[in-house]
Amino acid sequence: MNIYFTIIVGSVFVNNFVLSQFLGICPFLGVSKKTNTALGMGFAVIFVMSLASVFTYVVNEFVLIKLHLEYMQTIAFILIIAALVQSVEIVIKKFSPSLYSALGVYLPLITTNCAVLGVAILNIQKAYNLLQSFLNGLFAGVGFTLAIVLLAGIRERIHPKNVPESFRGFPITLIAAALLSMGFSAFSGMFGIS
C-alpha cells in the first residue's frame, strides 16, 4: 500500500498519539474545556509538530549522523523543540493575543510535551525521509487536534449535566477519555497498519 497513505491514516487514526500511544496527555486534559481553545491548542501542536519533524530530521541527518553523534538525539531534539515553541509563542503573542491568552500556560508546556519529542524520535526509528517525516508530524498533530477537540466537545456536553459529585471534573473526563480511546482502538489493524 502507498506509504504516504499509510502514514496519514496511521498517524491520525490507528496510532493516534493521544488515544493509542498515550503521549501528550497533559494538554489533552488541561486545554480541553472549551472547543475553541482546544482547537487553538491543536493548531499550535500541528504547527510545532510539523516544524519539529522537519528541523529534527535535518539536524539528525546532516549533523548528528555525519558526526556519529546519534546518541545525542534526545538532548538535541529537546533543544530544537524548545526553541521552536518559543518562536511560535513570540509570533502568536504578536499576531493573536486572544489565542495567546487562551492557550495560557499550555503553550510553553508544548516545549516539554512528550508527543512532540515522540514524533521526532519515531520519525528516526521508522527511518522516514524528509517528506515522510513532515507528513507524519503534520498528521500526528491533526490526530492530536482531532482527539482534543472530540474530548472538548464531550466535556462541554458533560459539564452542565448532573454528574455525581465524586465524579465531577477530572474523574468523569478521564472516563470519557477512556471511552474515546476504546473507540479509537477499533481502528487498530485497519489498513494493515499496526
Partner 1 sequence: MLLMAKLYVAILIPALVLVVIAAIFACVLAFLGRKLEVKRDEKIVQVESLLSGANCGGCGFAGCSAFAEALANGKADLSACNATSKANKDKIAEILGTVNEGEEMSFVVCCNGGSACEDKYDYHGYGDCASMEMLAGGRKACPVGCMGAGTCVKHCDHHACEICEKGFASINDARCTLCGKCAKSCPKGLIRKIPARAKVFVACSNHAKGKEVRSYCKAGCIGCGMCQRVCPNGAITVVDNLAVIDYSKCTGCGACAVKCPSKCIKTR
Q: Least separation, in Å, of the C-beta of 105 and partner 1?
A: 9
**Please, which of residues 16-35 interact with partner 1 by CB under 8 A?**
none
Stretch (H or E) spanning 103: helix 97-103
Nearer to partner 1, 36 or 87 (CB): 87
58 binds partner 1 (CB under 8 A): no
If we measure between CA atoms, which residue out of 103, 60, 100, 106 comes closest to residue 79? 60
Which of 8, 29, 72, 154 is close enough to bind partner 1 by CB under 8 A? 72
**Residue 49 burial (C-beta neighbours within 10 Å; 0-12, 13-18, 19+):** buried
What's the alpha-carbon Rg for the chain, to the nearest Å? Answer: 17
Residue 102 exposure: Cα atoms within 13 Å on the Cβ side: 19
177 binds partner 1 (CB under 8 A): no
Give how far Cα 65 sits from Cα of 56, 117, 123, Å.
12, 18, 14
Among 25-33, 64-72, 128-136, 140-148, the segment contacting partner 1 (CB under 8 A): 64-72
Nine cell digits for residue 189? 489493524
Amino acid at 63: V
Among 5-13, 23-31, 71-79, 124-132, the segment contacting partner 1 (CB under 8 A): 71-79
Q: Least separation, in Å, of the C-beta of 69 and partner 1?
A: 5
Site string for partner 1, 77-116 (x = CB under 8 A): --xx--x--xx--xx-xx--x-------------------
Q: Could you say which DSSP state residue 96 is in?
A: -
Nearer to partner 1, 36 or 86 (CB): 86
If we measure between CA atoms, which residue out of 167, 140, 142, 177 comes closest to residue 30? 177
59 binds partner 1 (CB under 8 A): yes
Q: Which residues here bind partner 1, judged by CB under 8 A?
A: 59, 63-64, 67, 69, 72, 75-76, 79-80, 83, 86-87, 90-91, 93-94, 97
